[in-house]
Amino acid sequence: MALLFVAGDQGIKEHDLAELLEIDTAALRQNIEQLEIKLASDADSGIRLANFNSRYKLITKSEYSDLLTKYFKSGLGTKLSQAALEVLSIVAYRQPITRIEIDEIRGVQSSGSINTLLARSLIKENGKKNVPGHPNLYVVTDDFFDYFGIKSLKELPAIENFENDENENLGDFDGES
């Protein structure tokens, strides 16, 4: 089942699966049939085994279609946009930080990206800044660390590395094409 899981939407051709498992196709079909029955009869499992033109893959059971539709409509199933990644990196390196400070760094309005990051629990409000208007301060969450597979902010690349790279690239530009 692990091979089928990592194969994802592409699935694995019967011949390739048998070769990887080092069994003949008859034995594979027997194992596949047992797995298919096991998944179909497991009320706690949201997946089933499907065969499309001798290509096997794991798919979700149709009874979960409403829940999955709701999930994808919520935006939680999508990758982060470039703008959201920019905001997230600013928060990670400069936290705690306000939306206005983020906007000043980016040069554009960031409330949409902040809302996305809040909904995905990658950042959170962490108090108010002691200035007129008392804007929210944002910091990264534990989900941020899980998302990027790191244990602390110390594991982030030094920001100076990026600043030096940008300056070097600008210095290489001679204005000629």
| CATH number of the domain within which 45 lies | 1.10.10.10
Q: Are 29 and 88 within one domain? A: no
Tokens representing 2 are 């692990």
pLDDT > 70? residue 24? yes
Q: Residue 77 — pLDDT band, cuts 50, 70, 90?
A: low
Q: Residue 132 — pLDDT band, cuts 50, 70, 90?
A: very high
Q: Considering only CA atoms, which of 52, 151, 140 is closest in space to residue 90?
A: 140
Contact 122, 143 (CB under 8 A): yes
Question: DSSP assignment, residue 51?
Answer: E
What average pLDDT does the segment 80-92 reach? 93
**Candidate from 50-59, 99-108, 165-174 with smallest mean pLDDT:** 165-174
What average pLDDT does the segment 29-46 reach? 92
Q: Are 59 and 87 within one domain? A: no
In a domain, 174, yes or no: no
What average pLDDT does the segment 130-135 reach? 93
pTM of the prediction? 0.52
What average pLDDT does the segment 56-65 reach? 89
Task: Work out the mean pLDDT of the chain and round it to a whole number.
Answer: 85
Q: Considering only CA atoms, which of 114, 119, 120, 110 is closest in space to residue 138?
A: 114
Domain span at residue 152 reads 82-157
What average pLDDT does the segment 51-70 reach? 87
Q: Are 51 and 92 within one domain? A: no
Contact 15, 22 (CB under 8 A): no
